Amino acid sequence: MRIATWNVNSLNARLQRVEEWLEYAQPDVLCMQETKMSDEAFPALDYAALGYDTIHVGQGQWNGVAILSRVGVENVYTNFADGQPPDEEARLVTADCGGVTITCVYVPNGRSPDHDHFQYKLAWLDRLYDHLNEVSSPDQDVIITGDFNIAPEDIDVWDPKVLEGATHGTVEERGKLERLLDWGLIDIFRQCHDADGLFSWWDYRGGSFHKREGMRIDLVLGSKSVADATRFALIDRNARKGKLPSDHTPVLIDVDRAA
């Protein structure tokens, strides 16, 4: 079973790139973030024609997450299941796909460490922890994947100096991520690759992609059973090349399963 995540930075702007990628990468599940689209505009029929069931959680021009699956979509949650008032932004969707409880997340960016949005980000990550406990347990097949807007370690950034005074690598953010890992999750790409310089996002500005100046902020976290069954993990840099790319590129894993 092949599971992928991709922040598409506007699905409308990326329709063709996504369809091309589905056809050659053949994921069984694709989690998308930043669709920036209403549910009415989501091209569910186009994906159905390619064999995918879909669930989209959109709010119009900002945020928006989706799961495409050709191994089923069951037990859907379109917001936190922590019993608190729903998050007003479309940043989370959970579904069981092929026996795996998959949560697709678009973690708030944080903007800057002294911004209110940074506190929203930290609180959001605590809610994600509670959500995971509500919808799953670490002894099951669990995946949480998406744009975390956190670089787990300094080797996940082209130059750690850019993290000074900025978001994405603070002690607070990494602490929240560590808490998720301590729940019983493994950073599957990092389990498969120990090299530095392996990134999933590059700024559009200044030719960052060609200078290899990026960050690994798109993560696939899996429970132990998923991690043990993973054959390999890959960042598809090719999807960041060519015409009209997203600033993020897909990350995928292959897991040994019946599907």
Partner DNA sequence: ATGGTCGTCCAACGA
Active site residues: 106, 147
Nearer to DNA, 189 or 202 (CB): 202
Nearer to DNA, 51 or 60 (CB): 60
Contact region with DNA (CB under 7 A), list: 93-101, 157-165, 186-194, 241-249 = 241-249
Contacts of 85 (CB under 8 A, 6+ apart): none
For DNA, the binding residue among 44, 53, 72, 109 (CB under 7 A) is 109
117 binds DNA (CB under 7 A): yes
For DNA, the binding residue among 40, 83, 85, 210 (CB under 7 A) is 210
For the CB of residue 99, give the shortest distance to DNA in the complex, in Å. 32
191 binds DNA (CB under 7 A): no
Contact 239, 218 (CB under 8 A): no
231 binds DNA (CB under 7 A): no
Contact region with DNA (CB under 7 A), list: 4-12, 24-32, 79-87, 220-228 = 4-12
For DNA, the binding residue among 43, 46, 72, 111 (CB under 7 A) is 111
Contact region with DNA (CB under 7 A), list: 75-83, 136-144, 150-158, 199-207 = 199-207
DSSP collapsed to 3 states, the chain: CEEEEEECCCHHHHHHHHHHHHHHHCCCEEEEECCCCCCCCCCHHHHHHCCCEEEEECCCCCCCEEEEECCCCEEEECCCCCCCCCCCCCCEEEEEECCEEEEEEECCCCCCCCCHHHHHHHHHHHHHHHHHHHHCCCCCCEEEEEECCCCCCHHHECCHHHHCCCCCCCHHHHHHHHHHHHHHEEEHHHHHCCCCCCCCEECCHHHCCCCCCEECCEEEEEEHHHHHCEEEEEECHHHHCCCCCCCECCEEEEECCCC
For the CB of residue 13, give the shortest distance to DNA in the complex, in Å. 4
116 binds DNA (CB under 7 A): no
Nearer to DNA, 231 or 241 (CB): 241
For DNA, the binding residue among 2, 36, 56, 168 (CB under 7 A) is 36
169 binds DNA (CB under 7 A): no
For DNA, the binding residue among 60, 86, 160, 175 (CB under 7 A) is 60
190 binds DNA (CB under 7 A): no
Residue 231 structure tokens:
């054959």
C-alpha–C-alpha distance, residues 196 and 199, integer Å: 8
Nearer to DNA, 36 or 56 (CB): 36
